[in-house]
Amino acid sequence: MGGQACVFYGAAEFSRDTDFAILAEASNLARLRKALAGLRAKPIAVPPFEIKYLRQGHAIHFRCQHPEALRMRVDVMSKMRGVDSFAKLWERRTTLQIPGGEKCDLLSLPDLIQAKKTQRDKDWPMIRRLVEASFFENRRKPSPAQIRFWLAEFRTPQLLIEIARKNPVVAKKLVAKRPLLRLASAGEAGKLEKELAAEELTERENDRRYWLPLKKTLDKLRHGG
């Protein structure tokens, strides 16, 4: 769900770890343990590899010791802020076949974008790139769902204005959910840019708040406080 998915959808991240969204159920964790054993992956840092921490929203971190993946980090999560349940993510996933015939399941683009709305600087230019790539790939014949997705997620003022003006009815319907669309429809690029920045700040603050109790748990596990 991380860097590799971003590359597939059109951003470019040189991420050295591999992130997985997984179903936190006992039988699935047993399968995961087996796969991790194949990679000779050992848990690092906290929390320990236990179902309760995954269900709380923590990530479990591993480092691989297999010679073909030496020192590679693997992070697994099951619950992310603002992101739907695993069952829904699975239903909407993208499946690709890589050379050699193996299949990879990726978060859908809208789900990946939700997962990227974090407190970290590096995720926000990534979101912008992902939505731009989707737009330039599909702008000639967009589906209604794509138009709604762009209106909901664009971080590029020029494109938001273009799409809002071409689709005034849909844009108007979405104003209640995303008030800055009013500025996009009016072509107010300067104000729109400021509102996009404010929207980002709000999301980042929400993410910081979401993590406060989880960070307390991590601190307790690290330092026994």
Question: Minimum distance between the CB of residue 121 and other proteins, rounded to whole angstroms?
Answer: 6
Three-class secondary structure assignment of 110-125: HHHHHHCCCCCCCHHH
Give Cβ neighbours of residue 36 (< 8 Å, ≥ 6 apart). Answer: 62, 74
Kindly tell me which of 87 and 99 has the beta carbon lying closer to other proteins: 99
Candidate segments 25-33, 154-162, 173-181, 192-200, binder of other proteins by CB under 8 A: 154-162
Select the span of 10-18, 22-30, 167-175, 185-193 touching other proteins (CB under 8 A). Answer: 10-18
Give the shortest CB-198-to-other proteins separation in angstroms: 19
From candidates 22, 39, 69, 175, binder to other proteins by CB under 8 A: 69
Q: Decide: is 215 part of the binding site for other proteins (CB under 8 A).
A: yes
Enumerate binding residues for other proteins (CB under 8 A): 4, 7-10, 12, 14-17, 45, 59, 61, 63-64, 69-73, 96, 98-99, 119-122, 129, 132-133, 136-137, 139, 156, 158-159, 162, 211, 214-215, 218, 222
